[in-house]
Structure 1
Amino acid sequence: MKHGKKYVEAAKLIDKTQQYEAAEAIALVKKSATAKFDETVELHIRTGCDSRHADQQIRGAVVLPNGTGKTVKVLVFAKGTKLDEAQAAGADYVGGEELIPKIQNDGWLDFDVVVATPDMMGVVGRLGKVLGPKGLMPNPKAGTVTMDVTKAIADIKAGKIEYRLDKANIIHVPVGKASFTEEQLEQNFNALMDAITKARPASVKGQYLKSITLATTMGPGVKVVSNKY
């Protein structure tokens, strides 16, 4: 893959063989963000888990202290008084069964997170084939299947993000934007690492976190010291 001039220049700042302390890695990542838009800073963690085993799955959520820098659109499936509660709490879209054909047949996916009350999961389950592959299926572990829709919406709008293991046993999560200060990015990084460290499955043998890399959307990766976590 051929990289552009800006990428090549940015890559010169980074020693590929070195693992950096988090603060230093964040400073380098910010320096290497050269795109014309405000790039997302992403964290990629290669784990020693085996996602084929149910007891080695990692899934959870954490509220980033400084948010993600992104405006998140929330869709809530609810009924009765919970519909009004969700609207009052600032949900972007609220509804029930009538939304199924819109998503299934019309391909409407203008939302980032789906929240559902437990009594609506029978309805939402019919969208599994559409929402599942996109990582949008509500899940109790992530706090998106709940009767407390007000708290769920408040957390998501405040910068709550979900983390999970992909098929390659890697976790990919946003840490913030390149325009954030180093301190803001470091606080978000620490909150994420804390949550992911605590989520270690008991059945994982050997090294849990094999490599930790920070990168912006268009920039080169910077390795972070992984044996501290």
Structure 2
Amino acid sequence: MATATRSKRYRKAAELTPEQEALELKDAVAVLQGLPKAAFDETVEVQARLFVDPKQSTQMVRGTVSLPHGSGKTVRVIAFTENPEEALAAGADEAGLAELIEKVQEGWMDFDVAVASTAAMKEVRKVARVLGPRGLMPNPKAGTVSDNLAEAIQAVKAGRVEFKMDKTANVAIVVGKRSFSAEQLAENATAAIEVLGRARPETLRGKFIRGLAISSTMSPSIKLSPSIYGNY
């Protein structure tokens, strides 16, 4: 089997990235910002490896974090509601109920987040098989089902980011863009790590976070020091 060839830019970035050394967050961000940049504004993520059993439903990890400086991403939001005017006024890109459900059923997926009023969820379940596998189904735990739909829409637009553990007990949380300042990235990452720590399953015994790293879309990962997450 042929081995994937890394780009010259990536190989240069790898040379500048400490392989074994775990860095404090500010130092890791400084290293990241010093790496060669791609031709676009890369997304920056914090990645976590967890001491949980992903096969246990009681140890599922998910949540949302409101980033102090936003995610840097323009988020397209649709709202399932019987009061579309209110949702549109709050910033939703599309809003409605029966017609919007039909549009999604026909394959339209030109959005990033779907929110719904509590009253609308009975109808929204009709598209669960469409939205669920894509991680787009409104969910109370993610703050995307609410009696205050305007507030939910504004929170998503302002930079609230959802995260969810995958089948290998790993979590990736968006914390900004390469164009952000070092201070903005560090503060966003700190907020994300704190919220992740609070998402620890009640049934888990012992340590929660196995390891953390930070990276951008096209960069190698930079390990973060256990001093950052040792209390979790």
Relative to the length of structure 2, the TM-score reads: 0.94
* Counterpart in the other structure of 2:6: 3
> Match of 1:181?
181
Deviation at 1:227, TM superposition (A): 4.9
Secondary structure of the corresponding residue to residue 207 of structure 1: coil
* Alignment-derived partner of residue 62 in structure 1: 65
Q: CA deviation at 1:33?
A: 4.5
Question: In the TM superposition, what is the alpha-carbon distance from 1:15 to its structure 2 partner?
Answer: 1.6
Shift in CA distance, 47/97, structure 1 to aligned 2, threshold 3 Å: same
Q: Which runs of structure 2 are paired with 1:77-96 in the superposition (5 Å)?
A: 77-79=80-82, 82-96=83-97
2-side partners of 1:93 and 1:129: how far apart? 20
The alpha carbon displacement at 1:199 in A equals 1.1
Shift, 1:182, TM fit: 0.3
C-alpha distance in 1 between matches for 2:224 and 2:36: 17
CA RMSD of aligned residues (A): 1.2
Cα distance 1:122–1:102, how it changes in 2: closer, same or farther (>3 A)?
same
Deviations 1:117-150 (A, max 9, x none): 1111122111112111111111101111001011
Does structure 2 conserve the Cα–Cα contact (< 8 Å) formed by 1:32 and 1:220? no
Question: What is the CA–CA distance in structure 2 between the aligned matches of 1:124 and 1:46, rounded to whole Å?
Answer: 33
* 2:40 aligned counterpart, secondary structure: coil
Structure 2 runs not aligned, ≥5 long: none
Matched, 1:125 2:122: no
Q: Could you tell me how far 1:205 is from its partner in structure 2?
A: 2.3
State the one-letter code of the partner of 2:215.
Answer: A
Query: 1:25 corresponds to which residue?
Result: 28
Structure 1, unaligned runs of 5 or more = none
Residue 111 of structure 1 aligns with which residue? Answer: 111
Match of 1:158 in 2: 158
Give the TM-score normalised by structure 1.
0.95
* Identical positions, percent: 42
